[in-house]
Amino acid sequence: MGWFDPVALQIGPIAIRWYALAYIAGFVLGWRYALWLTRRTTLPPDRLALDDFLTWAVVGTILGGRLGYVLFYNFDEYLQAPATILEIWKGGMSFHGGMLGVTAAIILFAWRRGFSPLLLGDVVAAAAPIGLFFGRIANFINGELWGRPTDLPWAFVFPSGGPLPRHPSQLYEAGLEGLLLFLVLLPLAASARIRSKPGIILGTFITWYGVSRFLVEFVREPDAQLGYLMGTDWFTRGQELSLPMIVIGIAVVIWAARRPAMAAPATAPASSAAA
């Protein structure tokens, strides 16, 4: 039996890929979920702010993800051919870079609208696992980012991974970073009490993702151009980038939990005004 076709629909020369559909599904469903969350609290951001921020989130994710991959994973190759940086359709996106891009978008957008970036960060973090889930499923369909060889019964032989069965590390990440993280954040995000202490949800997201990614990297094949780091046979770039996330995430949760609860605004938040 052949592998999955990465092209979902072909119309003449136009190919619609599952990876693109995964991004669209992640953004649209994440946005709708974020709108649902805002109806459960009187704290900003409101619907208008989230509608406007969607474009910022898309740009931050794509630009940050691409630049992160260039800088963290394949800088020397792109330095020799800078024009290929724009060839996003050939693959090469970094979650850590995408997160930095979205973080910058959150800070700038919240500053322009006059509310705490942590309030928007909590909402975005609660919705982010939806996009992560679809993205990792798309990685699996594409037969990329596979795991290390194994003889476990649920192993797969990937088209570009040689003849050996390998860990479906994409599915592990879809479960840990997507489904389970969403379920962990759901009761926190739906709680007005937790939302009144901005940063708890965001910090929980950062910590959980960092731990999950660090663990999955033990069975995920490292990038060929990097291999293992620091002279080890196990430490990868993904783990190197995830360690600071764990520390930062825990610190944010502790700091946010110790702060006094934020009171709801007496009037409509500034985010209701057009920028």
> Partners of 11 in the beta sheet?
14
Q: Give the three-state DSSP class for 89.
A: helix
**H/E segment holding residue 36:** helix 18-38
Using CA of residue 239, residue 241, residue 244, residue 250, what is the dihedral sign? negative
CB environment 203-239: b (16+ within 10 A), e (fewer): bbbbbbbbbbbbebbebbbbeeeeeeeeeeeebbbbb
- Beta carbons of 204 and 185 less than 8 angstroms apart: yes
The CA-to-CA distance between both ends of the chain, in Å, stands at 54
> What residue has token string 């006094």?
260
d(CA 114, CA 135) in angstroms, rounded, equals 32
136 is in an annotated binding site: yes
- Beta carbons of 221 and 146 less than 8 angstroms apart: yes
Query: What residues contact residue 192 under an 8 Å CB cut-off, 6+ apart?
Result: 40, 41, 43
**Total residue count of the chain as it appears in this document:** 275
The annotation places the binding site at 136
